[in-house]
Amino acid sequence: MTEANADPLLPPRRKSRRIRLGNVEIGGGAPVTVQSMTTTKTADVDATLAQVYALAGAGADIVRITCNDEDAAAALAHIVPRAPVPIVADIHFQYRLALAALVAGVPGLRLNPGNIRKPEHIKAVAAEARDRGVPIRIGVNAGSLDKDLMDKYGDATPEALVESAEKEIGYLNDVGFDDIKISVKASNVPLMVAAYRLLASRCDYPLHLGVTEAGPPPAGIVKSTAGIGTLLMEGIGDTIRYSLTADPVEEARAGRTLVEALGLREREGLDLIACPSCGRAEVNVIHVAEAAQEALRERDIPLQVAVMGCVVNGPGEARSADIGIAAGNGRGHLFIKGRVVRVVPEADMVEALVEEAERLVAEGADARIAAADADAADAAAELRADRLAHDVDPNASQLREDAARSTAHGDDATTG
């Protein structure tokens, strides 16, 4: 990957050192990467690989896989060379499984400093990773802090999380290992944000962001977005993971959606926007939006698509979208960059939207606007004018007129 093209409205990215995980660059201005984790039994090679491919297809740049026993370590030898994205072996408690994962060929490790306690074991893993050129993520978790740190701080505090990471960094540095990224996750969003801010101020290692144990959607997505999004908007963070109690494909999609929405990654998939609906809507916007999303996602169309409930505000409000549809008078008004190009029966709205989106990808916006139906724009303008005429509230308008006249005459209309 090349340098990230961040949205110019965002603050500058935090300057971190760059590391390489397989063919993926992390930190140092590289694009923010999206991670997820398999939920299969690692020893089941085919099932695990199938999930890795599904995650990559949903937007994951890196996939973490548990290495919790000898069979899992052996399976990694077959998974890693067939995976479409770099694999990180997740290690808990048993340092020998980290060594086995390295022998199996993994391009990355994740170690939890809260559960591999002996310095000599940590250093043994770091030395082997150093010799193989494999980076290590120090994965601090508020729920598994060392007892000494809990005794010192009385709880999982930002200072405790950061000190845990710094202690682990020291062990790795002792054997000349510096190919490190760090996470300091917590399930409490303010704690997580505060910990990452503190860590960012005290080192230049790349940071992996996440709200651990966020739970099922939609609450899990909200909590993750609140924490991860806050930090990314401050320029902090080099990789992210949504830790959801759900199909991990949802994690990858959510992560990809966030980095694209923030302008930290170029859009590669569908971005469907839709109005929240109101009394003016003449179709079931929720139903149309869901149908359009399903149809367009299946075709992997990399466009911003708008579904709007009415022609009064729809094309104008969604002018920045590549393509969209707005409903009115039993018809769908198909527009490209805010310009109505076709009018179709309401029953054909989704089908027409998908068809035009495919043509737009193949031919480009200028060609599709040039091929617009001759009377489409006039028909939409006529209907819009009719709807506006009927949408005016005479009583509200008269009240505003009376108030304006009173103000012009100097009457105290606001206090009487």
> What is the tens place of the pLDDT at every residue in 54-77?
999 999 999 999 999 999 999 999
DSSP codes, 224-292: HHHHHHHHHHTT--SEEE--BSS-HHHHHHHHHHHHHHTTSS---S-EEEE----TT--S-HHHHHHHH
* pLDDT of the residue at 241: 98
* Averaged pLDDT score across all residues of the chain: 89
Q: CA angle, 288 as apex, 343 and 389 as ends, to 5°?
A: 55
* pLDDT of the residue at 3: 46
Side by side, the strands of the sheet bearing 271-274 are 271-274, 304-308, 323-328, 331-336, 339-345
- Class of domain 19-261 as given by CATH: alpha beta
Nearest alpha-carbon partner for 279 in 317, 309, 318: 309
Whether residue 414 is predicted with pLDDT greater than 60 in this model: the reply is no
Whether residue 183 is predicted with pLDDT greater than 50 in this model: the reply is yes
Q: Is domain 271-391 given the CATH code 3.40.190.10 in the classification?
A: no
Q: What is the Cα–Cα distance from 149 to 18, expressed in whole angstroms?
A: 29
State which amino acid sits at residue 99: L
**111, 122 contact by CB (below 8 A):** yes
Domain span(s) for CATH 3.30.413.10 in the chain: 271-391
- Which SS3 state, helix, strand or coil, does residue 23 take? coil
- Which SS3 state, helix, strand or coil, does residue 90 take? strand
Domain span(s) for CATH 3.20.20.20 in the chain: 19-261
* pLDDT of the residue at 332: 85
> What is the tens place of the pLDDT at every residue in 230-243?
999 999 999 999 99
Residue 144 is encoded by which pair of tokens?
């598994």
Segment 117-138 shows an average pLDDT of 96
Nearest alpha-carbon partner for 42 in 4, 85, 88, 84: 88
* pLDDT of the residue at 402: 66
Residue 33 has phi, psi (to 5 degrees) of: -100, 155
> What is the tens place of the pLDDT at every residue in 4-53?
445 678 889 999 999 999 999 999 999 999 999 999 999 999 999 999 99
* pLDDT of the residue at 2: 43
